[in-house]
A = this chain, B = another copy of it.
Amino acid sequence: MIDKSKKGYTVIIANGEFPIHKRPKECIKNASYTICLDGALKLTLKNNITPNIVIGDGDSISEMLKEDYAHLLHLFTDQDTNDLTKAINYCIQKGLRKIKIVAATGKREDHTLGNISLLLEYMHKVEVEMITDYGIFTPIVSTTKFESITGQQVSIFNIDNSPVTSHNLKYPLKNLVLDNLWKGTLNESMGEYFTIETKGRTLVYRTFEVKTK
C-alpha cells in the first residue's frame, strides 16, 4: 500500500552505482515506499531490499527477473524519457510528492550529469533530493536556508547565470554569476546553517564529510 503521509517519503533506486555509504543505505531503509528502476533490480534484491514497484522500459532487466517479479513490474515503452523520469512521473501520478533519489551517480558520466541536472526539472513538481555516497544535492530556485554543520563542504551550481549570494559560507559569494560549473565549488559551511540567495535554477551540494583542521 502507498503511504502518502507527510512524514513518509519515496525512495527511487536508480541505475548508477549501488550505494555503499550508510546515509543512502539508511535513506532506502527508512523510506515509506521504494521504487526501483528496472536496471537496478538485480543489485537491489542482492542487497536484501524488495522494492514496492519496479519501473522502466524493460530494456535493462533479464527475462528471468521479469518473470519472477512480474507482479511488481510497471513497464513504460515511451522512449522520450529516461527511466528516472518515468519513475518521477509515476510518483506525481500517485500523489507521492516527497522523493529521495539514490544510486543515480557513478558509472557513465553523461548519465551522472543528466541525472543530477534533472533535479532542476523535477523540483517544479515534487520535493526532491539526491543522496549519493558522498553527499546530498538539493535543487532550489529561490533564496533557501540549509541546515549544516561547521566544516561541511558545500558546492553551488547555477545553470541560469543568475547572480548568487551566500551567507555563512567560508568563501562568500556576493552577487556572483557562476557561468561555469566549477565556479561555485569547494566552499565550506561556517556553522549550523547557511543561506543561498538566488532567483535562478541552482543545485546545492553538501558533503557528509566535514573538514577538520
Interface segment among A3-11, A33-41, A90-98, A176-184: the answer is A176-184
Interface bits A161-172 vs B (CB < 8 Å: 1, else 0): 000000000000
Complex partner residue of A134 from B82, B109, B117, B201, CB under 8 angstroms: B109
- Give A59's nearest chain B residue, CB to CB: B213
Contact between chains at A181 and B135 (CB < 8 Å): no
Nearest residue in B to A203 (C-beta to C-beta)? B113
**What B residues does A157 contact at CB under 8 A?**
110, 113
A202 lies within 8 A of chain B by Cβ: no
Q: Does A191 contact B (CB under 8 A)?
A: no
Interface string of A200-211 (1 = CB under 8 A from B): 010001010100
Q: Of the 9-residue stretches A44-52, A69-77, A100-108, which lies at the interface with chain B?
A: A100-108
Report whether A118 and B159 are in contact in the complex, using a CB–CB cutoff of 8 Å: no
Q: Is A144 an interface residue (CB 8 A)?
A: no
A112 touches B110 (CB 8 A): no
Using an 8 Å CB-CB cutoff, how does the interface string of A131-171 with B read, 1 for contact, 0 for none? Answer: 01011010000000000000001010101000000000000
Show the binding face of A for B, using Cβ within 8 Å. 82, 105-118, 120-121, 132, 134-135, 137, 153, 155, 157, 159, 179-182, 185-186, 201, 205, 207, 209
